[in-house]
Every structure is written in structure tokens, then in C-alpha cells.
Structure 1
Amino acid sequence: MLCALIMAGGKGERFWPLSTDEKPKQFLKLLGEETMIQMTVKRLLPLIPIERIFVVTAARYVDLLKEQVKDLPVENIIVEPVGRNTAPCIALSAFHISRKYRDASIVVLPSDHLVVKPDRFIETIEHGYKFIQNHEEGIVTLGMKPDRPETGYGYIQYKKDYSYQNDLSGEAAVTREENGQCLNLYKVERFVEKPDEETAKEYIQKGNFLWNGGMFIWKCSTIIKLTKAYLSNTYSILKDIFESSDKDFTNKLNEKYPQVDNISVDYGIMEKAKNIYVIPSDFGWDDIGTWYAVERYRDKDDNNNVCVGDTKNLSASNNIVVAKDKPIVVVGLDDVFVVESDDIIFVGKKKDIDRIKEIKRNVNK
């Protein structure tokens, strides 16, 4: 049985000042009339019913989640007492889902990504799930075919040679036609960190490097076993929590969970595990990580301005302007971004977008 786990606990600091600790980017309408979490749930529904969609988030966001995803069963909201990175977050969720669906497989995905081709996205997940059904110890990750030398993403290197053998011991496995396009599974050689620009260009030229989209398909039992093998402290703590009575569960979770390892799933598990396969994917993916991503997908006026809300650009070009309650007029300026939030109006040069987190810290001193 396939379930989905959506990770929705991040703070989204790179979208400050619109994204705040109280309402981070996954609960914002950055790309249209739906919030990022609403878009993520909606694209899963053709394959996975809402009863089998789980969301892991922080306690402070539970009410927001209930408000924005009204059909989500309350028992499918998994609450992290504190953020301890993705490895314990996923392991906690695997224990939780296993209690409801004993033999569940899960597709794990972030709450704040864009998918332009949802049908293709569903086909790719189906392909990975079928592989997992036949290979219980396997892990499938979705790697995005790069179209630019991106320095903001990690990469996945896979073995170029592949066979048609549906066999985990092979160098690679399984190919299938979907709507005239091939879906392949390749053996992962390694995960690599965010590169500099020259290295990213080399990756693209080599042709066997994919963007790491942070999406995985595996059985709950597999991720629990891998947590036990590579993060024994986290496993022991979670096992103890889930062996407690229903009455004591929440208190024990709040008491013990802060002691788990603070580590990403890439560092803690994926770089050590065997039997990892990747599907080179092409479903119009983007990590909506900065205002540049919004600029890529929002409609623009004749002078290449992104205008959200009541805004006007006069003798101005290449700007990002986001109005909330008041009209904003930009005159004679190029390459700036202006964002109105509940608390402040931020004006800056677009070249400083990558410094948003630093700027936020300085403003809040």
C-alpha cells in the first residue's frame, strides 16, 4: 500500500519578509491561487487518497495545516516537538505510518516544490513504487534532469550503463515506456553536495548527474531498519516512544524527541545505504527556494516585471514587486524587488536576493 509523507516543518527564511516563523512559505500563495502545501496535496490525489496522505510539521503550524487542507484526517498530522532535520523527521513518520498501515510504502516529498507536469509526476512515482514492491530492501529516489549549472542544489551521480534486468544486484535496473518516453532506474553511485559553478558545468557535460530533489520511495520497514543500522540513537529513542501507551505517548514524545540525532537523511542514511536507485525525472520540477524561482514562473509584463497584487512599474524593468494591502508604484528603477508583508515593506536590489537570510538577521537584531 502506497502512502505519501509531506514534510512541512521548514521556516522558509529565504522568502522573508513574506514568509515568517508564524506563517512560512509552504502556507503562502507564492505561485498562484493555491498555497504550496495545497498544490503538493492536490498533485498526489490522482494516485494516493487523502486518507493515505500524511504531513509532518511543527506544532505551531497544525492549525494552519488544518485550515488549508481541510480533508486531511487529524490522525495523519505528525507533529515534531522540535525540528531535528530530515532523518529523524522521516523515521518518526515511518514509525507513525506503520502503526496505521503495517506494510506501507511511502513516497517522501517536500511541501514547497513545483511540478509543472503532474501526470508525468504520478507516472514516475508509480514506476518507482512498482520497483519497491518487488525489491523490499530497495530505495528509489527521483533525480531531476538539469537544464542549467545550478549551484543551489545537491546532485546525484548514477552509473551510466544500465540493463533491463529487474534485479537489485545489477548496475542498474528496469526501464519502461510511458507515453512515448522512457522511465529508467539506474544504480546510484553517490550523492554530492552543492557545487560551485564550474563543477556544476562539468556535471552537466558528463551527463550522469541529476539534481537531488529530496524525494524518496521506500517501504516504512526499510527506513526503520536503516535508521537502526546507521542512527542507532535515533532508532532507540523512537522505538521507546512508540512502545509507550497512548496516554503517555505525547509526553514521552515531547520529552525524548529532542535527544534524537540532528542530521539530514542524505548524511545520516543515503550516503551509507546500499541498493539505492534513481529515476531520471522530467516532470517540470523546481525547488521554490528563493524569489528567483517565483520570477521564473510568475507572469511578467512587457518590461519583464513580476507584479503581484496592486502594483505599477513606470519606466521600470526586471523587477519583482509584491503588494499585500497597499498599492505599490515603482518608477525609474530596474532590477529591484519590493515585498510588502504584514510588518514591513522591503526594498532591495535583486542581486542581494541570495543574502535574504543574512539581511533578516541584521534587521531583527
Structure 2
Amino acid sequence: MTGPMFGVIMAGGAGTRLWPQSRRQKPKHLLRLVGDKTMLEMTVERISGVIDAEKILVVTMAEQANAVRELLPLIPRANIISEPVGRNTAPCIGLAAIVVRDRCPDATMAVMPADHVVGNRGRFEQVVRFAARQLEAHPEALITVGIKPRRPATGFGYIQKVERCDEVDGFGLFNVGRFVEKPPLAQARRMVADGHFLWNAGVFFWRAEAILREIAVHLPELGSALDGLAHSLGKEDFDKRLAETYTKINPISIDFGVMQKARSVLVIEADIKWNDVGSWASLASIWPSDEAGCA
């Protein structure tokens, strides 16, 4: 039986594709780009419907940590985890996983970016609950979320769904055939027409122990570094060890480093409105246009 679920929000990066509004010191997840709240606040609210604040962790850059703490007073200070430098999503997730496992060895994780827009909060909460139930049935699985594509987008990654494993409340659970990173337009059109490809939403569910085991297998150097950090958790020299370790870690994404190589990977096909707000063009698809057609 799996333990409680922790929410992990990845809030690093500079969002340079939204320059000049988004900068290193003030990245897009700290901006009010959609509505009157920052994207990070919206992400915390979205997951707080199913996970209590004391079990929500935010992984951010050291230079952004104070701004994140001020923005999220209900999140315990110990839950704001600072990376010395950005090393992409695999180290970020691994760092969060050792913290979660230290607090509860059997815990599961719901991992998501801080800078995505998701419509229909209630439906998203249903996705999280569905994933939690699936982890009970598939405790060693790495589960990701795919969105049925609305158009042949070239700015998103894609996930190929194959055999169906389960279906509840309109959510299908499938084995994953392969991942495709940001294809050219012709390939995107073929995949959308095929009907078996989903947009990669960058949202993941797994047991903390399971993802750490997969990191150790597929990214052994990172796995070894995380083992060393795990032994230093709670000690006075942890921040020093963390800084030293991060100078030696190679940047790599969790998709490329683990998800594309692991065997037990499943995808939930979710019918939620989603956008990764990775560019001004994607923002324009969210903002209403005026009579002249300008956002």
C-alpha cells in the first residue's frame, strides 16, 4: 500500500522565451500573465484541493527562494527547496524525491511545473485522485499525463499511447509507446491524424522510492549524487554539500534521462484544458483578442 501523496512544484528556470517580461530574477511563474495571480500561486491553488499545504513542496532557484516564500506564506518554509543552480528537471525531481522519501518512505509524488495553465480545476483534481488509485495498483509505475491534441502544435512534446490498462470517469490509462520531442509541423500533423499521440503535459505521478530507483538505473551518476545528499539531509552541512554536488551534476530532463528509457511507464489521457505558456504565441491563445485581433 502506498503512503500519502506529496505535491512537488518545479519553479525554476528563467522563462527566456517570454523575455523581456520574464527574466532570471523574475521568471514567468512569478508573473501575473494570466489573471490577477501569479502562475505559481495558481499552481499551488490547483493542487491544494487534493494535497494539504504541509505536503506541498516547491523546488526553485536559490535567487528566487525569497520571492517564492513571500508569495506563498501558507507553504512551510522547510518546503521551499532551493537549488544552487538550475540543472533541468531530473536533478530537480531527484532532490525533491529524497526529501519526500525522508519524510515518508512510502510516499507518492504529484510533480508539475509552476508555469502551466490548466482549466477546470475540479477535473484536474480528479486526474490526481485517479493517478493515486493507479499507483496503488501499479506501485512501480511512472505515470505521466497526456492531453488530447487540439491542433498539430510544434512547441509541445508528444506521448504515444498504446495498450489500454484501465478507464474510470472518462480517464484512460495506457502503456506508453514512445515520446516525441517538439516535432516539425509535418510530423505533428501526422501524429495528430494518427489519433494515438497526446501532448506531453509535463505532470508526473510515482512513488518517491520508484523514481529514485529509476534514476539510479538510468542516470547512475545522478543517482549516486542523490544518495550522498540523502545522507546529509537535516545536517548542518547540507547546504554546503548541495552546492558542491550541483557543480558536478550534468543538466538533463526527466523525460530524456528516465521516462524514455524506463520500462513501466503509463500515461493518463486527460480531457483538461492545458497550455504550457512557453511563448508569446501560446499566451495569445489564452488571452482574449480585441476587435482588431490583438491580444
Q: TM-score under structure 2 normalisation?
A: 0.96
The alignment status of 1:217 with 2:220, answered yes or no, reads no
**1:18 has 2:21 as partner:** yes
| Structure 1 counterpart of 2:219 | 231
User: Amino acid of the residue matched to residue 183 of structure 1?
Assistant: F
Question: Paired residue for 2:164?
Answer: 172
Larger Rg computed on CA atoms: 1
How far did residue 260 of structure 1 move? 1.9
Aligned residue among 178, 189, 195 for 1:201: 189
Q: Does 1:292 find its partner at 2:286?
A: no
C-alpha RMSD of the superposition:
1.1
- Alpha-carbon distance, 1:15 to partner: 1.1
CA distance in 1, matches of 2:175, 2:237: 43
Q: How does 1:1-365 map to 2 (within 5 A)?
A: 1-159=4-162, 171-177=163-169, 182-244=170-232, 246-306=235-295
CA distance in 1, matches of 2:33, 2:135: 34
Q: Structure 1: where are the runs of 5+ without partners? A: 160-170, 307-365
Contact 1:78 1:96 in 2 (8 A): no
* Equivalent AA in structure 2 for residue 79 of structure 1: S
SS at the partner of 1:279? strand
Report SS of the residue matched to 2:122: helix
Instruction: Please tell me whether the aligned partners of residues 87 and 264 of structure 1 are also in contact (alpha carbons under 8 angstroms).
Output: yes
Deviation at 1:198, TM superposition (A): 0.9
Equivalents in 2 of 1:296, 1:267: separation in Å?
28
Q: Distance in 1 between matches of 2:8 and 2:207?
A: 12
Write the letter of the residue equivalent to 1:212.
N
Kept after mapping to 2: 8 A contact 1:172/1:277: no
CA distance in 2, matches of 1:295, 1:37: 19
Deviation at 1:225, TM superposition (A): 0.4
CA contact (8 A) 1:242 1:249 kept: no
CA distance in 2, matches of 1:193, 1:292: 19
TM-score (norm 1): 0.78
Please report how far the alpha carbon of residue 32 of structure 1 lies from its aligned counterpart in structure 2 after TM superposition. Answer: 1.1
Deviations 1:241-286 (A, max 9, x none): 2213611111111112221232111111011101111111111011
Query: Number of residue pairs matched?
Result: 291
Structure 2 stretches lacking a partner, 5+ long: none
Partner SS state of residue 243, structure 1: helix
Cα deviation for residue 59 of structure 1 reads 0.5
3-state SS in 1 of match to 2:54: helix
Secondary structure in structure 2 of the residue aligned to 1:30:
coil
Q: Larger relative CO (CA 8 A, sep 6+): 1 or 2?
A: 2
Which string of whole-angstrom CA distances, capped at 9 and with x for unpartnered residues, describes residues 69-97 of structure 1?
11110111111111111111111110011
- Matched with 1:327 is none
**What are the superposed Cα offsets for residues 306-340 of structure 1, whole Å, 9 maximum, x if unpaired?**
2xxxxxxxxxxxxxxxxxxxxxxxxxxxxxxxxxx
Letter in 2 for 1:175: E
